[in-house]
């Protein structure tokens, strides 16, 4: 009986040592795969950057651009629909816009108009993170209001 207990205790100790070595090996592999917080992944899309992307001439010019190019949809005007479209997009490293989607819309025709106008946008000044140009995800509200 003592021999069985001793053998069982020895097997438990061997298993525990083997498990500890496997865990240490896995931790070493994890440590080797950790990417420095200062490293920028070239294909990633960032929401938090050091220097945000900007429309040429700034935010005032962006809203001027929208005002000059938005054509209020006739059906929305006739139905007296108005409101704020919250639109999200990615500013690519070359300044172009992609992945344009409506997060919160007003009506199908107003939402489509917001997307149409953003697709016409000139190239933006891209974002930077750690001194490198990166892709940035952002959103802006676009107001559609009927004049009195």
Topology of domain 45-144 in CATH is 3.30.1150
pLDDT tens-place string over residues 33-57:
333 345 567 679 999 999 999 999 9
Q: Which has more pLDDT, 65 or 11?
A: 65
Entry pTM = 0.70
* Partner residues linked to 45 by β-bridges: 135
Is residue 90 over pLDDT 90?
yes
- Helix/strand/coil (H, E, C) string of 19-77? HHHHHHHHHHHHHHHCCCCCCCCCCCEECCCCECCECCCCHHHHHHHHHHHCCCCHHHH
- Cα-to-chain-centroid distance, residue 90: 7
* Partner residues linked to 98 by β-bridges: 90
Please state, in angstroms and rounded to a whole number, the distance separating the CA atoms of residues 107 and 103. Answer: 12
Average pLDDT over residues 96-110: 97
């Amino acid at each position: 009986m003592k021999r069985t207990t001793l053998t069982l205790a020895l097997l438990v100790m061997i298993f525990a040592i083997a498990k500890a070595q496997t865990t240490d090996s896995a931790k070493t592999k994890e440590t080797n795969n950790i990417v420095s917080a200062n490293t920028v992944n070239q294909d990633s899309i960032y929401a938090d950057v050091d220097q945000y992307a900007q429309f040429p001439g700034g935010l005032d010019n962006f809203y001027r651009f929208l005002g000059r190019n938005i054509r209020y949809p006739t059906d929305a005007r006739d139905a007296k629909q108005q409101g704020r479209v919250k639109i999200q997009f990615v500013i690519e490293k070359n300044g172009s816009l992609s992945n344009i989607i409506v997060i919160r819309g007003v009506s199908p025709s107003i939402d489509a108009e917001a997307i149409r106008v953003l697709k016409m946008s000139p190239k933006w000044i891209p974002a930077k993170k750690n001194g490198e140009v990166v892709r940035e995800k952002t959103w802006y509200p676009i107001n559609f209001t009927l004049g009195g």
